[in-house]
Amino acid sequence: MSTRHVLLGLLAGGPSHGYDLKRRYDERFPQARPLAYGQVYTTLQRLVRDGLAAVEGTDSDGGPERTLYRSTDEGSRELATWTAEITPPALFVTNEIFAKVVVSILVAAAAGSDRTSDAAAYLQAQRTAHMARMRELTALKTVPGTDLSTVLSADYAIAHLDADVRWMTTTASRLTTLTAEVDTA
């Protein structure tokens, strides 16, 4: 996810302080990787530097001085371009789970242990972790009054976890063949 574009999108609603942008980010993207305040302010400084945002002013409201940021016309154009771009599917899939399956076969071979059972045990443990996370997300999205952003982001995460679980099941059924291929490579 492009932090700069998400912040520009949040600024599209009108001028905001960094603190408010962070709070709205957390509300709109509840299942996303957390955004640190330092990242918000660093990104805002870059947006200002690049002419995509501008400082609207500062105020203190009896507390520390806070800077108010707004999107510029150039920022609005960049945001429109970004939102219209199709996100291409990844050319290369780097999957840590697959890498661990192959490495567990290699390590077991070096140790002289049963390569297939070590990889199968890893896949089962990983599946258990995925299923637990899917249950957490399902519980989260089914709480009465849950906002649609939370439901949709949980649905997205559940779909990806489900795809991983299906892949793990398929891979577990093919471990003997995979082990033979790893042994001959």
Structure confidence at residue 133 as a pLDDT band (50, 70, 90): very high
pLDDT at 40: 93
Sequence-distant (≥ 6) Cβ neighbours of residue 183 within 8 angstroms: 109, 115
CB 3 within 8 A of CB 39: yes
Q: How far apart are CA 127 and CA 125, in angstroms?
A: 5
CB 97 within 8 A of CB 126: yes
Structure confidence at residue 91 as a pLDDT band (50, 70, 90): low
Share the mean pLDDT of the chain.
87
pLDDT at 1: 65
pLDDT at 159: 94
Please give the sequence-ordered ranges of beta strands (E in DSSP) within the chain, or none if there are none: 16-17, 53-59, 66-71
String of DSSP letters for 158-174: HHHHHHHHHHHHHHHHT
Structure confidence at residue 86 as a pLDDT band (50, 70, 90): confident
What are the tens digits of pLDDT across the range 21-51?
A: 999 888 888 777 888 999 999 999 999 999 9
pLDDT at 60: 74
Q: Which of 4, 157, 5 is nearest to 85 (CA)?
A: 5
Q: How far apart are CA 137 and CA 127, in angstroms?
A: 15
What are the tens digits of pLDDT across the range 144-164?
A: 999 898 899 899 999 999 999
CB 103 within 8 A of CB 84: no
Cα–Cα distance list, 11 to 68, 83, 185 (Å): 10, 14, 53
Q: How far apart are CA 141 and CA 134, in angstroms?
A: 11
